[in-house]
Amino acid sequence: MRSLLLALPILSLTACGADPGDAAGDVADDGTELSASDDAKGDSTSSALYYTVRPDLRRCVFPLCGGYWLKKLNSTVDEIYVPEIDLTRAGLDQSDFDVGGSVVRGTLTSRTYDGSFGTRKILSANAAWAVGSGTPSGTYYKLTDTRIVCFRAPCLSITEDKLNWSTATLRLSGITGAQASGARAALAADDEILVAGTNRYGAGGAKNVVVTAFWTRVQRSSPSTCANVRCAAGTSCEMIQVVCITTPCNPVPTCVMTEAHLVELAKAYGFSKSSDPSYTKAYFDTEAAAYAAATTTPSLLWVAKDGAPTKFVWGENDLWAERFEIDRITGDVRVTGEH
């Protein structure tokens, strides 16, 4: 009894002296690793598992080589080789992102190949995440922003799920580490990202995740069309090719001025060049017709088309003329010459 009483104060001092801010390492996992046959114990959105992907650079006859190596995340199981990754269910194709280093979620299915190659396993993917930044180390998680707003710290506004494990969801107060800034921005933009890192205790005893790398969800942008674009009076929608710094570079639906509206703008510009009431003001479809009229009509202020729908010329009698062009989007006038 004397020994027990002496020991109690020592135990009490040890517990009180522990600083939660110094506690390091991953939070213990009470769940189990999911196998390919486990029907989404830890992922309520699908029956798929998460894999990192790297291209197979071996040179031999396809489908024996030239496919992809898959590594199940948070697992000690060796890589597996698949000839193909079918991205149909994800609504993607391989031009949408760089497969190497990315993460895909999918199920292993079978495909039969011609000749003596028989039936082989492929990955049918229903989602993909592209490399954001960083060199991955630690445990792989899915982070979801709950959009909870708090009035005091700690604010457990982020949920965390360990990929391919049946563990319960954890609540985190924040993201730290070298990749924290990029990961926070990505999470704010999409509400869900994948990260590699380590859970640690922070201020107030709340858990944070120290991120070493992150991945962002790949989503294909459907090519825009004029079908749902409403334009103002005097304009109509056309697909206009723009200058891009990345691919794909698709035409963009743009409201541009109709030919009739451009003519009205051209007349307003040309006829504004003189306020003399003695002038006769007229519009012509060709410059030749305007000059012909100028030989018989004294004091003629005229505007005419100059070939293309956006190009015009205005003149005063048959002595002087100015060529100009009207921007179809802004309506701005640019003088291109005079004679």
Look at residues 44, 78, 39, 37 and name the one whose alpha carbon lies nearest to residue 161: 44
Burial of 320 (0-12, 13-18, 19+ CB in 10 A): exposed
Q: Which CATH number fits domain 259-338: 3.10.20, 2.30.30, 3.30.410, 3.30.505?
A: 3.30.505
From the list 97, 103, 149, the residue with the least C-alpha distance to 129 is 103
- pLDDT more than 70, % of the chain: 84
Dihedral in degrees, nearest 10, Cα atoms 64, 65, 70, 75: 70
By three-state DSSP, how is residue 322 classified?
A: strand
Over 60: is that where the pLDDT of 188 sits?
A: yes
Closest-CA residue to 161 (of 209, 124, 212): 209
The pLDDT value given to residue 28? 46
pLDDT tens for 39-65 read 334 333 346 899 999 999 998 999 999
Give the residue among 163, 152, 130, 174 at the shortest CA–CA distance from 42: 163
Spatial separation of the C-alpha atoms in residues 38 and 79, rounded to whole Å: 18
Helical ranges in the chain per DSSP H? 2-17, 180-190, 259-271, 287-294
pLDDT-derived band at 184, boundaries 50, 70, 90: very high
Greater pLDDT, 13 or 231:
231
Rounded to an integer, what distance in angstroms lies between the CA atom of residue 138 and that of residue 245? 34
What average pLDDT is seen over the chain?
83
Reading the block at residue 260, the tokens are: 């009739």
> Which of 126-140, 142-156, 182-196, 308-322 has the least mean pLDDT?
142-156
Q: In terms of C-beta density within 10 A (0-12 exposed, 13-18 middle, 19 or more buried), how is residue 131 classed?
A: middle
Listed ranges 178-182, 186-190, 251-255; the one with the highest mean pLDDT: 178-182
- Pairing of the two strands 308-316 and 320-326: antiparallel
Pairing state of beta strands 252-257 and 320-326? Answer: unpaired
137: tokens are 């180390």
Task: Give the span between the Cα atoms of 189 and 48, in whole angstroms.
Answer: 24
Distance CA 245, CA 252 (A): 15
Mean of pLDDT values over 260-278: 93
Mean pLDDT value across residues 228-254 = 79
Q: Is the pLDDT of residue 142 over 60?
A: yes
Q: Is 211's pLDDT higher than 50?
A: yes
Average pLDDT over every residue of 191-216: 91
The pLDDT of 160-177, averaged and rounded, is 89
Classify 99 as helix, strand or coil.
coil
pLDDT grade for 37, boundaries at 50, 70 and 90: low
What per-residue confidence (pLDDT) applies to 292? 93
Residues 101-141: pLDDT tens digits? Answer: 899 999 999 999 988 888 999 999 999 999 999 999 999 99
Q: Is the pLDDT of residue 9 over 80?
A: no
What distance in Å separates the CA atoms of residue 316 and residue 80, rounded to the nearest whole number?
80
Q: What percent of the chain has pLDDT over 90?
A: 54
Note the pLDDT of residue 45.
39
Taking the CA atoms of the chain, what radius of gyration do you get in angstroms? 34
Report the pLDDT value the prediction gives residue 36, as an integer from 0 to 100. 58
Residue 44 φ/ψ region, left for φ over 0, alpha for ψ in the -120 to 50 degree band, beta for the rest: alpha
pLDDT at 31: 64
pLDDT reported for residue 40: 37
**Domains of the chain by residue range:** 21-220, 221-255, 259-338
**What DSSP state is assigned to residue 220?**
P
How many angstroms separate the CA atoms of 26 and 269, rounded? 72
The token pair at 334 is 């640019």
Q: What average pLDDT does the segment 329-336 reach?
A: 93
- Which residue's structure tokens are 């027990």? 4
Separation of alpha carbons 207 and 198, rounded Å: 10
Judge whether 331 and 257 are in contact, CB under 8 Å.
yes
Q: What is the mean pLDDT of residues 158-177?
A: 90
pLDDT of residue 162: 95
Contact 68, 58 (CB under 8 A): no
Maximum Cα–Cα distance across the chain: 129
**213: nearest Cα among 279, 147, 134:** 134
